Amino acid sequence: MRHLHYAGCLIFLLLVLQGCATIPRYQAQGEFLDETVRTTVDAEIARYYLENYLQGKRNNPSFDKKIDRLYQKQGSAHPTREELKEISRTFSVDFATLFLADRLLAIEENQKLHKRFNQFLQEKKAEPYSPPAHYSSYIVLFVPGWDYVEHGHVTGADLSAPRKLVTDLGIENHLVEISPHGSVEENADYISQELIEYSQTGKNIIISGPSSAGPAIHLSLGERLNQEHLQSVKAWINLGGILQGTPVVDYLQQWPRSWGLNMYMWWRGWDSDELTSMAIEPSRKRFERLSISEDVLIINYIGFPLSGQVSQYSQDKYPLFAPEGPNDGLTWLTDAMAPNSMTLIALGNDHFLAQDPRIDEKTVALAKTVIFYLEKDYGAFTLYQEMTDRREPF
């Protein structure tokens, strides 16, 4: 059985690796988000953008003119998925990733969010630690990611580390034990039952989950619960959720890869509907019809990797989807953003956020940031409604 396991994993890996392309590498270093970025990027103009343009330096008239024209056409809105695809082809994928980050940070509420998050990140925990009294009014429900039972300790999908950190903060929390391979719809139903049960405690609920947990949480909050049950849900922390699907599923469903995928799923005992629910078309249709109450604070925490910063878990997938624009190794960056939300940019990280060497500190800072916003009664922000206007192509 051990040999069968290795053989199955090898078949699956080979299917994913098929067609991977080599990405150009240009050494680059620059300041962004109050930290020094040292990595490789995929084009000379991406290096110039990071090292010079974003630092306020204009010393390449040809590049400057091209970038200025982009900003003029884009205006104050952050670019859409389709626009990022065009920007990636005109400039480069790494350029488009940095451009999206810059446009998101141009939104005042995102600036304030990053500032508050960084303040908490720089705080030193007092010893001995005594949790603030108001922390006792909250419950954090953690919804784990795909295959969390068997491999969650490796990928971080089981959320055991953040649960311990939140417990150490003095905040009650529970794991929502969804099916490790359940469909979006099946898991949304289970999450909804848990939310109804915990709403009876009288405490304020913060729900959080990564990756495949994201669309299930979105479906639960946006369609499965009535207004009465939603009153207790105060915030949703969206940790790189594949809200509009993952192209990995679509890629593997194409012949001849579908043959190997079907074999692998049969061997693992997975149902095809479970994966299909995370494909692009059904996910985007589901995303478009959902609407969440503006009383729920929604904060996205999303990995924004440059091509030289992709982790071992994304190196086989990132190049496959780069021709379509900036991605985190599992989904396109804009597809991981919930509507009516604020966004924290985890530059240098990809979809597998647990690989960040400072992830523990950032988990604590994120928890404190969310509660700070709830205590200040900021509510949820309708940020992007004015950004649906159509602009001429680049």
For residue 75, CA distances in Å to 106, 108, 109, 340 come to 11, 15, 17, 20
pLDDT at 387: 37
Cα Rg, the chain, nearest whole Å: 21
pLDDT > 80? residue 195: yes
pLDDT higher at 385 or 342: 342
Tell whether 340 is covered by a domain: yes
**Pairwise pLDDT comparison (156 vs 46), residue with the higher score:** 46
Name the residue range of residue 212's domain.
108-387
Q: Helix (H, G, I), strand (E, B), or coil: what is residue 139?
A: strand
167-191 per-position pLDDT tens digit: 999 999 999 999 999 999 999 999 9
Q: In this predicted structure, which of 73-77, 80-84, 261-265 has the lowest mean pLDDT? A: 261-265
Does 29 fall in a domain? no
Task: Kindly give, in sequence order, each residue whose CB lies less than 8 Å from that of residue 10, ignoring residues fewer than 6 positions away.
Answer: none
Q: Kindly state whether residue 30 falls inside one of the protein's structural domains.
A: no
Per-residue pLDDT at 295 exceeds 70: yes
Q: Tell me whether residue 270 is exposed, middle or buried, using C-beta atoms within 10 angstroms of its C-beta: 0 to 12, 13 to 18, 19 or more.
A: middle
Q: Above pLDDT 90, what percent of the chain? A: 73
Structural contact between residues 276 and 262, judged by C-beta atoms closer than 8 angstroms: no
pLDDT at 6: 39
Model pLDDT for residues 347-392, shown as the tens digit of each residue: 999 999 999 999 999 999 999 999 999 997 544 333 333 333 333 3
Helix (H, G, I), strand (E, B) or coil at 365: helix
pTM for this entry: 0.89
User: In this structure, is residue 18 part of a structural domain?
Assistant: no
Which one has a higher pLDDT value, 336 or 394?
A: 336
Task: Judge whether 349 lies within some domain.
Answer: yes
Whether residue 54 is contained in a domain is answered as no
Task: Give the chain's domain count.
Answer: 1
Q: What is the pLDDT of residues 312-323, one digit of tens each?
A: 999 989 999 999
The model's pLDDT over 23-77, given as tens digits with 9 standing for 90+, comes to: 899 999 999 998 999 999 999 999 999 999 999 999 999 999 999 999 999 988 8
* pLDDT at residue number 21: 60
Q: What are the E-state strand segments in 69-221? A: 138-142, 172-175, 204-210
| CATH assignment of the domain containing 133 | 3.40.50.1820
Q: Average of pLDDT values for 77-95?
A: 96
Instruction: Give a yes or no: residue 314 inside a domain.
Output: yes
Name the token pair of 4: 């069968």
Residue type for position 354: A
Residue 97 covered by a domain: no
